[in-house]
Amino acid sequence: MDVGFIGLGGMGSAMASRLIAAGHRVLVWNRSPAAAEKLRAEGAEVVANPADAFQADAVLTMLASDEVIEELIIAPGLLKGARPGLIHLVTATISVDFAKTLEKLHAEAGVAYVGAPVLGRPDVAAKGELNVLAAGKPDNIARVKPLLDAIGKATWVVGTEPHLANVAKLAANFTLVSAIETMAEAFAFCERQNVAPEKIAEILTGTLFAAPAYKTYSAAILERKFEAGFKLALGLKDVRLMLAASEKAGAPLPFASVVRDNFVDAIAHGEGDKDWSAVSRVAFRRANLAND
């Protein structure tokens, strides 16, 4: 299959690489050319502009925000100039409202649209082990199944309206950031009372919370390994999307407000470019504990 790919950050590059390895012809574009050139060495074709990527059978976009999608895809009219029969998969975390707008714009342009945000970090994407949350018309999802199989270990179909995948992704991210915050507070609580955080992490991840997210992020928190897998500043963006969607839906997320404030605190202390697990420093700092 001919596949366009726009947005080659850590996640996008890893996903595009998996598509190349699966034997697809991959047409890549990125604002900064270095990432595209690296993929050229793997067999990708670097195109001159985003519109060229929309001349494939399908195009995946991994762009950081609603605003970037508007700037690069919608405003230049790429949907109107897309190849007939193309399917557009939006794989990033975007707002529910904007996803609904994209549904209308794609319908007006006659372009098939699948919401396909992913769960996982760049290292998971490099192994082709992402979980894909997909929503859209069943025949559209069926057509792009080979692509979803190349980038992920499982595809979870949420519904027939693409924006539903974004609702599910925000729910998943809310649960994840809540887990990170809870672990940070629990570890600081134990350390202040002479229970080694490493011991409570061992207990939790070996009993009640024996899940990959708890194991991965408890280690990051305890070892202070905050190399950017998913930048804290982008995490703040996602928390804001959660709060906006929850307000509109009339389904409050009060703990998301706590996490948002802690993200703001962490960014104010220079953590914005670190992994979002660096928000744990806030809990340790408030407990007057060593944080280096």
- The per-residue pLDDT for range 42-53, each reduced to its tens digit, is 999 999 999 999
Is residue 289 very low, low, confident or very high in pLDDT (cuts 50, 70, 90)?
A: very high
Domain residue ranges of the chain, discontinuous segments joined by +: 2-161, 168-286
Q: Rounded to an integer, what is the distance from CA 263 to the centroid of its chain?
A: 17
Q: Give me the mean pLDDT over the 140-161 stretch.
A: 98
pLDDT of 113 reads 98
Q: What is the pLDDT of residues 221-275, one digit of tens each?
A: 999 999 878 899 999 999 999 999 999 999 999 999 999 999 999 999 999 999 9
* Stretch 81-87: mean pLDDT: 97
User: Does the structure show a pLDDT above 80 at 290?
Assistant: no
Q: What pLDDT is attached to residue 260? A: 97
What confidence tens digit (pLDDT) does each residue in 188-221 have? Answer: 999 999 999 999 999 999 999 999 999 999 999 9
Q: Is pTM, for the whole model, over 0.85? A: yes
Domain 2-161 has CATH 1.20.1290.10: no
**Mean of the per-residue pLDDT values of the chain:** 96
Distance of alpha carbon 3 from alpha carbon 24, whole angstroms = 7
Same fold, 2-161 and 168-286: no
**Given a cut of 90, is residue 291 above it in pLDDT?**
no
Residues acting as catalytic residues = 169
Domain 168-286: homologous superfamily in CATH: N-(1-d-carboxylethyl)-l-norvaline Dehydrogenase; domain 2 (1.10.1040.10)
For residue 120, the one-letter residue type is: G
Mean pLDDT, residues 157-184 taken together: 97
